Chains A and B, each alone.
Chain A
């Protein structure tokens, strides 16, 4: 049951967005996020909306999946909108006690909300169309230049992919430990917050021990399979840019230039 949790919420359908190289998608998401902060005019937001709708339609992922991420940022959205609305601007249009709503504040709050919503939906488009493995591969390749600054990019990517592999296994294990402790009379449901937090200790300790044991086994197995870091390593499926990636880059550049241009309208 627990192992059915899809990691990174990948939505498996075949679409042209799914088939894009992960590096293209990473870069595209980045461009989109930056463009949202470059512009602050209505035509700009219209353009961004258009681009987003196109991407969503092309990805063939149902729109309801895109908005799932919004729940997590709802509180943040509310706070930033109300701050912008109540505490900025001069031209008062409505007043209630010490609260006042201004014209400038309203506009700013609206843009802020749009930005946040688009940020979340934009990155959802990427995570829904890219498997976690592709994502790590893409990150490793596109951040490769950091190697020159002594950042161990390969090692970090390897750690990420191993973490992805072991999350379901450790969730299973947690489940097992919880059941074992319950069978021995442990109580996780009653009591105040501190009591409940204390009740977690008998779960965490065996879980940590098991995780370390697994880590040491895995290290041994990797060594036995000739793993010796990223140097001299080849790939079975190296990332390769195709024609569609080049087209995507052209579209992204055009989009960004247009977005930048909206500043001067």
Chain B
């Protein structure tokens, strides 16, 4: 079952002059069709301006499509009655950790979402306890967000979304401003929520390494799903996509380092399969080759 369904979505940004005349329009999404299955971990890739962030904002009803429809858990985002339900169902984590934390204390910020939804006091406390436990941020619970590391701040932001009990979390480049250790700290939490709580994850990123562990990759280009030279959509499991390195490179996406290494070794005549995703896989294959020789 699809939790998010976008059908023929068109979204344009318009630039107005002082007299409110349109002087420029930019098509951010052109006829995007995509369905995201419940419980899956989907990674949306694409370089700047490919429309991936716009797509995220449409799911959360922060923007409404100019044409076409976006349906979240059976609710059309155009339906203003359901707008809070949609935002509760499909929580969103943004890029800059500082600019999405509202309260002056970590636990107060986690409670912000449920407070807005009018959840009774006792239940807010229960939810906050549970979520803080789940994301292992108990040590900073009563601290000011200003004293946390970037990775911790993003975990707090995720906790704030989790406290609203969403079905799905959309993360718009959550690791772009973090150092490598902060990045893995955040992604660990995201994978954990996907596996143990069954939360659907839509991770928007341009780090290929983050895409490796996803169930499905979608490459976006010019506001739609990118296509290879034969017209096939670049949409599939990481192994499928990374088996076609030339196609990814055409869309100016870099391969993960291991995949790139395996690909080059193969070009130099070693018998290595396409779409190597982990260091272990590559080492195992190389050992086999050595044993054969």
Q: How far is the CA of A233 from the CA of B88 in the complex (A)?
A: 15
Chain B window 185-205, contacts with chain A (Cβ cutoff 8 Å), 1 for yes, 0 for no:
000000000000000000000
Where chain B touches its partner, the secondary structure class is: helix
Contact between B108 and A133, CB atoms less than 8 A apart: yes
Is B179 in the interface zone, CB < 8 Å from A? no
Is B66 in the interface zone, CB < 8 Å from A? no
**Which of A3, A165, A233 has the most chain B CB atoms closer than 10 A to its own CB?**
A165
Is B87 in the interface zone, CB < 8 Å from A? yes
B24 to chain A, nearest CB (A): 20
Q: Within 8 Å CB of A220, what residues of B?
A: 57, 62, 94
Q: How many residues of A contact B (CB 8 A)?
A: 28
Is A168 in the interface zone, CB < 8 Å from B? yes
Is B60 in the interface zone, CB < 8 Å from A? yes
Is B100 in the interface zone, CB < 8 Å from A? yes
Q: Which of B96, B145, B147, B164 contacts A225 (CB 8 A)?
A: B164
Which A residue's beta carbon lies closest to that of B123? Answer: A234
Contact between B62 and A236, CB atoms less than 8 A apart: no
Known A3-B146, A221-B99: A228·B104 in contact at CB below 8 Å: no
Contact between B88 and A234, CB atoms less than 8 A apart: no
26 A–B pairs (Cβ distance < 8 Å), ordered by A = A162-B102, A164-B104, A165-B145, A165-B146, A168-B146, A214-B99, A217-B99, A217-B100, A220-B62, A221-B99, A221-B100, A223-B62, A224-B91, A224-B92, A224-B94, A225-B161, A225-B164, A226-B84, A226-B88, A226-B113, A233-B115, A233-B118, A234-B124, A236-B108, A236-B125, A237-B108
A residues sitting closer than 8 Å to B (CB atoms) are: 3, 132-133, 161-162, 164-165, 168-169, 214, 217-218, 220-228, 232-238
**Nearest 3 pairs of A and B residues by beta carbon:** A221-B100, A217-B99, A236-B111
